[in-house]
């Protein structure tokens, strides 16, 4: 005797045949199989590094420039980056690290629109090394 779940499966098969036709079913099954194998392959890979925060980028930029970061605030680190690169504007203390990074770049004449934090940081480092 056919139970409730078997009826559901039979109805799904009939509806699938009516909607896509018998020629498309193998294509759909192949696509589902590829999606499943891709998911399994991706789940076996090591986790990808999450995008760095603006604070991480600021600290990384400072370390690349040889600035000690231990015991300093983000504003102090940013001010040292600016001072090292030849800019003279003072960075405000209450800003976020992202604001500080963006402001530092603007003080140095670096365009920030449409760029990632990592790209901005790399440009600050390149400009600072060029000014030494």
Going by pLDDT thresholds of 50, 70 and 90, the confidence category of residue 100 is confident
Query: Among 16-20, 58-62, 87-91, which stretch is predicted with the lowest mean pLDDT?
Result: 87-91
Q: How many CA atoms lie within 13 A of 79 on its CB side?
A: 12
Percent of the chain's residues with pLDDT above 70: 86
Q: How far apart are CA 21 and CA 26, in angstroms?
A: 10
Candidate ranges 10-14, 45-49, 52-56; pick with highest mean pLDDT: 10-14
Mean pLDDT of the chain: 81
Q: 132, 72, 85, 79: which is closest to 103 by C-alpha?
A: 79
More confident: 122 or 95: 122
Question: Sign (positive/negative) of CA torsion 89, 77, 99, 96?
Answer: negative
- 90-113: average pLDDT: 75
Instruction: Assign 45 to helix, strand or coil.
Output: coil
More confident: 35 or 82: 35
Percent of the chain's residues with pLDDT above 90: 5
- 87-110: average pLDDT: 70
Q: How far apart are CA 89 and CA 36, in angstroms?
A: 55
């Amino acid at each position: 005797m056919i139970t409730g779940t078997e009826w559901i499966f039979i109805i799904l098969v009939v509806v699938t045949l009516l909607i896509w036709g018998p020629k498309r079913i193998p294509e759909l099954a192949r696509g589902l199989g590829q999606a499943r194998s891709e998911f399994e392959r991706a789940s076996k890979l090591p986790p990808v590094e999450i995008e760095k925060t603006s604070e991480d980028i600021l600290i990384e930029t400072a370390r690349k420039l040889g600035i000690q970061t231990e015991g300093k605030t983000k504003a102090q680190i940013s001010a040292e980056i600016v001072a090292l690169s030849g800019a003279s504007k003072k960075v405000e203390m209450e800003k976020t690290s992202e604001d500080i990074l963006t402001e530092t770049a603007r003080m140095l004449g670096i365009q920030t629109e449409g760029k990632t934090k990592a790209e901005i940081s790399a440009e600050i480092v390149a400009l600072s090394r060029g000014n030494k």
